[in-house]
A and B are shown apart, each in its own frame.
Chain A
C-alpha cells in the first residue's frame, strides 16, 4: 500500500501548479469564462511546450508520462478552475485514439495533439443525455467504402474550437445496443457537420453538433465496426476518473479560500474560523476532499495498471460528485453573502464542479453501475 506520489508525479504536480498559478490568474479565469473560445493560442502553445498536451500519450507518438501523471495534472487544473480544451483533447480525444486507433491513426493524430496543433473532442451523448449504448441514435450507414453519418450530438465540449470530433454512431442492426456502435473520427470541416453552442451556467464550452449526411471514409473508423461500445466504456472510465480529479482540485481550492477567509473574517470579536459551527463545517469539507482524492487515485491507479476498474470508477464518480457538491455548499455558507456575488471567484468553482459532476453520468448512473458491479 502506498498513498504517495512518485518523483515524476510530484514533478508534474509542481510544474502544473507553478504554471497555472503564474499564468492562470483569477483575471484570466474571468476572461476565459466569458470568452467564446475559452482559451488563447498563446496559452495552448505554452502547454505544448511544457509537454502537458502529450500526457498519457505513448512516447512513440510524441507523448510523455502515463494516465496517473495526467490525473495529477488534472487535479491542478481543477485547483485553477482551468477552462480550456485540454480535457477534450488530451483526456477524451487522445484517450480514444490510444484505446482504439490503429498504428496509422495514432501516427496521424497523436503527435499533432502533443504538439498543440490538433484539438479533438468526443461526441457521445445525445438527446437523452445518457451514457449508455441505447441512448446513441445517430446512424452511420455504409456506402461502399464510406460511411454516411446522420444525427444530433449534445453536450459536446469544445466542439466550436475542435479540428476533429470522435463520434459514436449506430452501424449495426443488433438488438443488443452494445453490439451495434462504432466510433468515427471526423474532420470538423467535413460538409454536413455543424455546431451550435449551448450556453451553460459554467465557463465550460459545450455544443450541439449536427451530422447531416456527413460522408467519411472507412479509414476514419476507430477500432472495429459494431464493436465500438466496449472501447467507449474504457474511454468513459478514463473520462469519469479524470472528471473526479478535476473535482478534487476544484473542491481543494474552494476549501483553501474558505479556510483563508475564515481566518481573516472577524465577527463578534473573533475570526469566524474559531467558532465550532464553522470549524466543523470545514472539517467535513476536508474529509470530503481527502476521501475524494483517495477514491479518485485508487480508480486511476487501477486503470493505469490495466486492472479491472469498473467498480472503483463508479465509486469514485458517485462519491466525489456528492462530496464536491457538499464542499461547494459549505464554501458558500462560510463565505456568507460575499460568496453569493458574481464579483467573488467562488461561483466559478461551484459551477464548474456541477459541469464535471454531470458529464459522463451523474450520481444516480454511477450508483446503478456500482450495484451491478458489487
Chain B
C-alpha cells in the first residue's frame, strides 16, 4: 500500500506547474474560467491549439505511451499529474478526445499503419480530434445507431446525421461509428469504427449551443462522404468492440474530480475573503472536501490499475460517475454560497468570479449525461461490479 507519488512523479508535477505558471495565458489564469467558458471569444481556438502544441513539444501528451510510438513507457500517473496541473491552472490545450481516448483506442485496436499515421499528430498537439457516436434518435442505446456506410469499391459512403459532437467545429479528424450491416442481430454486430478527415467533402458541422451559452457541441451531417476502407479500425462490423474500449478509456480519462477539487478551493477562498462562511456553509464545505478526497481516491485506483496493466472494469464507470456528480454538487454549492449574486453573468458589473459560478452550474447539468449517462454507469457498476442480472 502506498498513498503517495514517487519522487520522480513529484518532480514532474513541479516541472509541469512551473511550465504552466509561465505559459498559461494570463486571462485564463486570472478569470479561472473553463476552456468552453471562453468560447465567446474570437481567439479561443487558437489559444487552445497553441497551448496543445506547447504541451506536445514537451512530450507530455504521449509520455505514458510505448516507446515505439513516441512515448517513454511512463506510468499513467504521469498523464494524471499532467491533467491535474492543467486543471489547477485552468489551462486549455489538452485534447481530451484525441489524447484522452482516440490515442489509447488506437494503441489497443489500431493497425500499424493507423498508429504510424495518427499517433504523431496527437502527440505533437497539432491534430485535434472529435468523436461522433450519438445520433438524434440514439444516445445511450449505441447499438441502435442508424447512420449508414455503404460499401463502394475501395471506400465506404456515409449518409446521415450525428449530434453532440464536442469540438466538431474545429477538429481535424473524427472517430466515427456507423452502421454497415442493417440485417444482423444483435444489432451491435453491424457497427464499424472509422477514422474520418473532417475536410472530406460532404461533411457539414452546425453548432448546438448548451444552456450555459457555450459552443461545445455540434451536429454533423454526412452527405455522401467517402471514407477509404483502410480507415476502418478493428475490422468491418466490429466497431462496437472498439467503441467499448474507447468508452472504457473515456471513463478513465476524465478529470472531473480534479476540476471539482480546484473549483471547491476557489469557492472556499472567495467565501473566506468575502465573509460568506456561516456555520452551515462551513459544514457543506467540509462535506464536499471529504467527497473530493474520495473522488480522488476512486480515480487514483483506476489509474493504479492501469499502471499495473489491469484493465479497469466497473471501477472506471464508478470513478467517472462519482467525479461528475460531485462536480454537479460543487457547482450547486457555488450557487448557494453566492446566493443572489450567483445569477449574475460575466457581463454584469457586479458579477463575482467573472461569472464562473452560473456558468459552471449550468454546464454541470451535462455532467450526468456526457460520456455515458449516470444511468448507464450505474448499470455497468451493478452488472459488471456486482454480477446482477441483465433484463435486456
Contacts and interface: CB of A to CB of B under 8 A. Distances in A.
Interface of A: 1-6, 9, 68, 255, 259, 262-263, 270-271, 273-276, 278-280, 282-284, 286-287, 290-291, 294-295, 297-298, 301-302, 312, 314-315, 318-319, 364, 367-368, 370-371, 374
B292 to A, nearest CB: 9
A279 B379 contact: yes
A276 B379 contact: yes
A280 B378 contact: yes
A262 B388 contact: yes
Contact of A2 (B2, B378, B385, B391): B2
A225 to B, nearest CB: 35
B1 A3 contact: yes
Given A286-B318, A287-B381, A294-B301, A273 B294 contact: no
What does DSSP make chain A's interface, helix, strand, loop or mixed?
helix
Most chain B beta-carbon neighbours within 10 Å: one of A5, A297, A315: A315
Interface stretch (B173-181, B278-286, B335-343): B278-286
16 contacts: A2-B2, A3-B304, A263-B388, A274-B389, A278-B388, A286-B381, A286-B386, A290-B301, A290-B318, A291-B294, A294-B298, A302-B3, A312-B293, A367-B283, A367-B290, A371-B283
A259 B379 CA distance: 14
B294 A294 contact: yes
Contacts of A368: 286
A274 B286 contact: no
A279 B1 contact: no
Contacts of B291: 319
A364 B287 CA distance: 10
A294 B386 contact: no
B297 interface: yes
B286 A1 contact: no
Indicate the member of B1, B307, B377, B383 with the most A CB atoms within 10 Å.
Answer: B1
B51 to A, nearest CB: 27
B388 A273 contact: yes
B285 A371 contact: yes
B382 interface: yes
Contact of B77 (A1, A283, A301): A1
A283 B297 contact: no
Contact of A283 (B289, B294, B378): B378
Given A259-B387, A270-B389, 17 more contacts: A1-B303, A1-B304, A4-B1, A263-B388, A270-B391, A274-B389, A274-B390, A274-B391, A280-B378, A287-B318, A294-B300, A295-B290, A314-B290, A315-B290, A367-B283, A371-B282, A371-B286
A273 B289 CA distance: 33
A279 B3 contact: no
B322 interface: yes
Interface string B261-297: 0000000100000000000001101110111011001
B69 interface: no
Given A279-B378, A282-B386, A3 B290 contact: no
Contact of B290 (A2, A6, A286, A370): A370
Contacts of B387: 259, 263
A283 B304 contact: no
Interface residues of B, number: 43
A367 B284 CA distance: 9
Contacts of B307: 1
Given A1-B4, A279-B382, A294-B301, A374 B391 contact: no
Contacts of B375: 276, 280
A319 B290 contact: yes
Given A276-B379, A367-B283, A367-B287, A3 B386 contact: no
Contact of B386 (A276, A283, A302, A374): A283
Contacts of A4: 1
Nearest to B293: A315
B193 to A, nearest CB: 28
A1 B382 contact: no
Shortest beta-carbon contacts, A-B, top 9: A279-B382, A283-B381, A294-B297, A283-B378, A273-B388, A291-B294, A2-B2, A367-B286, A280-B378
Contacts of B321: 287
Nearest to B4: A1
Contacts of B2: 1-2, 301
B170 interface: no
Contacts of B386: 255, 259, 282-283, 286
B5 interface: yes
Contacts of A271: 388-389
Contacts of B377: 283
A1 B388 contact: no
Contacts of B318: 283, 286-287, 290
Nearest to B291: A319
Interface string B1-38: 11111000000000000000000000000000000000
Contacts of A9: 1
B128 to A, nearest CB: 30
B289 A284 contact: no
A287 B386 CA distance: 11
Contact of B1 (A284, A301, A319): A301
Contact of B297 (A275, A278, A279, A295): A295
A61 B301 CA distance: 36
A295 B388 contact: no
A262 B391 CA distance: 13
B45 to A, nearest CB: 35
Nearest to B322: A287
A274 to B, nearest CB: 4
